[in-house]
Amino acid sequence: MIDELEALRAEALEAVSGAPAQAELRDLEVKYLGKKGALTAILKGMGKLSAEERPTVGALANQVREALKGAIEGRRADLEAAAIEALCADPHFDASLPGPSPSAGSLHPVTTITEHIEDVFRAMGFYLLDYPEVEDDAHNFEGLNIPADHPARDMQDTFWLQDGHLLRTHTSPGQIRAMAEFAPPFRAIFPGRVFRYERLDASHEHTFHQVEGIMIDRDISVANLIHSMKTLLGAIFEREVTIRLRPGFFPFVEPGFELDIQCQVCAGEGCSVCKGSGWVELLPCGLIHPNVLRYGGLDPEEWSGWAFGLGLSRLVMMKYQIEDIRHLMGGDLRFNAQFRAG
Binding site for ligand FA5 (CB under 6 A): 156, 170, 172, 196, 198, 204-205, 208, 210, 212, 250, 253, 256, 281-282, 284-286, 307-309, 311, 313-314, 325
* CB count in 10 Å sphere of residue 238: 9
Q: How many residues comprise the chain?
A: 342
Cα distance between residue 213 and residue 174, in whole Å: 9
Cα distance between residue 309 and residue 214, in whole Å: 9
Long-range contacts of 94-103 (CB under 8 A, 24+ apart): none
- Provide, rounded to whole angstroms, the least separation between the CB of residue 100 and ligand FA5: 39
Q: What's the DSSP call for residue 151?
A: G
Question: Which neighbouring-strand residues pair with 207?
Answer: 195
Q: Which of 265, 320, 291 is nearest to 147 (CA)?
A: 291
Closest to ligand FA5 by CB, 12 or 214: 214
Closest to ligand FA5 by CB, 22 or 242: 242
Closest to ligand FA5 by CB, 39 or 194: 194
Closest to ligand FA5 by CB, 75 or 139: 139
Q: What's the DSSP call for residue 243?
A: E
Q: Which of 56, 17, 15, 20 is nearest to 37 (CA)?
A: 15
- Provide, rounded to whole angstroms, the least separation between the CB of residue 102 and ligand FA5: 34
- Provide, rounded to whole angstroms, the least separation between the CB of residue 271 and ligand FA5: 16
Closest to ligand FA5 by CB, 32 or 250: 250
Cα distance between residue 42 and residue 64, in whole Å: 12
Residue nearest to ligand FA5 (CB): 311
- Provide, rounded to whole angstroms, the least separation between the CB of residue 123 and ligand FA5: 22
CB of 233 closer than 8 Å to CB of 241: yes
Q: What's the DSSP call for residue 201?
A: B
Closest to ligand FA5 by CB, 158 or 313: 313
Q: Tell me which amino acid residue 61 is.
A: A
- Helix H or strand E encompassing 310: strand 304-311
- Provide, rounded to whole angstroms, the least separation between the CB of residue 221 and ligand FA5: 15
Angle at 317 between CA 315 and CA 319, to 5 degrees: 70
Closest to ligand FA5 by CB, 236 or 282: 282
- Provide, rounded to whole angstroms, the least separation between the CB of residue 306 and ligand FA5: 8
- Provide, rounded to whole angstroms, the least separation between the CB of residue 139 and ligand FA5: 12
